[in-house]
Amino acid sequence: MLKRILFTALALLTLGSACALGEALPLTDGAETADRFAANPRPVKDIGDPHVLHADGEYFAFATGGPIGFNVWRSADLTKFTKEKAAKKFAWVSGDYWAPEVYAANGRYYMFFTGRWKENSSLRVGVAVSDAPQGPYEDAIGGPLFDFGYAAIDGTLFYGEDGTPYMIYSRDCSENVVEGRHESHLYGVQLAPDLLSVVGEPVLLTTPDTPWELTTGDYLWNEGPAVLTHESKYYLFYSANGYATKEYAVGVAVADEPLGPYTKQANNPILNYIVKDGETVVSGPGHNSFFTVGDELFTSYHTHTYPAAPSGNRQMNIDRAGFHADGTAYINGPTLAPQLRPLADLGLVNHMPAAKSDTPDAQLLADGDTCQSVASEAYTFTGSEAAFAWDAPVTADMLLIYPAQGKAIAGQVIVNDTLTADFALEADQKPGSFVKLTFAPTQITSLRIVLSGESSVGEVMLLGQMK
DSSP output for 178-232: ETTEEE-EEEEEEE-TTSSSEEEEEEEEE-S-SGGG--STTEE-EEEEEEEEETT
| Residue % of the chain over a pLDDT of 70 | 95
Question: Where does a domain end: 314, 334, 354?
Answer: 334
Look at residue 7 and give its three-state secondary structure.
Answer: coil
- Residue 339, domain member (yes or no): no
The conformation of residue 144, written as its DSSP 8-state character, comes to -
Domain that holds residue 398: 3-36+346-465
- Residue 457, domain member (yes or no): yes
Question: Where does a domain end: 289, 314, 334?
Answer: 334
pLDDT score of 36? 97
In the β-sheet with 82-87, what is the strand arrangement from edge to edge?
A: 51-55, 58-62, 70-75, 82-87
- 254-283 in b/e form (b: 16+ CB < 10 A) is bbeebbbebebbebbbbbbbbeeeeebbbb
Q: How far is CA 396 from CA 31, 160, 389, in A?
A: 16, 40, 14
- Residue 109, domain member (yes or no): yes
Q: Are residues 124 and 17 in the same domain?
A: no
Task: Please report the sign of the dihedral spanned by the C-alpha atoms of residue 145, residue 147, residue 152, residue 158.
Answer: negative
Q: Are residues 195 and 116 in the same domain?
A: yes
Task: Please report the sign of the dihedral spanned by the C-alpha atoms of residue 396, residue 398, residue 399, residue 401.
Answer: negative
**Of all helices (H) and strands (E), which one includes residue 345?**
helix 343-346
Low-confidence ranges of the chain (pLDDT < 70): 1-21, 383
pLDDT score of 2? 33
Task: Please report the sign of the dihedral spanned by the C-alpha atoms of residue 58, residue 234, residue 203, residue 215.
Answer: negative
Q: Are residues 330 and 417 in the same domain?
A: no
Domain of 416, CATH number, reads 2.60.120
Tell me phi and psi for residue 23, to 5 degrees: -100, 165
Task: Catalogue the E-assigned strands of 76-164.
Answer: 82-87, 93-105, 108-117, 122-130, 138-139, 152-159
Question: Where does a domain end: 334, 364, 379?
Answer: 334
Q: Are residues 383 and 247 in the same domain?
A: no
pLDDT score of 452? 83
Q: Are residues 322 and 286 in the same domain?
A: yes
Q: What is the spatial distance between Cα 330 and Cα 28, in angstroms, rounded to a whole number?
A: 33
- For the chain, what's the residue count? 467
Q: What's the number of domains the chain is made of?
A: 2
Q: What is the spatial distance between Cα 315 and Cα 416, in angstroms, rounded to a whole number?
A: 44
Indicate the pTM of the whole model: 0.94
Q: Are residues 290 and 376 in the same domain?
A: no
- Residue 341, domain member (yes or no): no
**Which DSSP string corresponds to 294-339?**
TTEEEEEEEEESSTTS-SS-EEEEEEEEEE-TTS-EEE-----S-E
- Residue 246, domain member (yes or no): yes
Task: Please report the sign of the dihedral spanned by the C-alpha atoms of residue 28, residue 31, residue 32, residue 38.
Answer: positive
Look at residue 364 and give its three-state secondary structure.
Answer: helix
Q: Are residues 101 and 148 in the same domain?
A: yes
Can you name the residues that pair with 276 across neighbouring β-strands?
279
Q: What is the spatial distance between Cα 312 and Cα 294, in angstroms, rounded to a whole number?
A: 33
Q: What is the spatial distance between Cα 366 and Cα 350, in angstroms, rounded to a whole number?
A: 9
Q: Are residues 249 and 390 in the same domain?
A: no
- 398-420 in b/e form (b: 16+ CB < 10 A) is bbbbbbbbbbebbbbbbbbbebb
CB 374 within 8 A of CB 270: yes
Q: Are residues 148 and 271 in the same domain?
A: yes
Q: Are residues 357 and 310 in the same domain?
A: no
pLDDT score of 18? 39
Q: Are residues 110 and 218 in the same domain?
A: yes
Q: Which distant-in-sequence residues (6+ apart) come within 8 Å of 261 by Cβ?
A: 205, 255
Can you name the residues that pair with 447 across neighbouring β-strands?
388, 415
CB 247 within 8 A of CB 269: no
Domain of 187, CATH number, reads 2.115.10.20
Q: Are residues 214 and 325 in the same domain?
A: yes
Q: What is the spatial distance between Cα 244 and Cα 288, in angstroms, rounded to a whole number?
A: 15
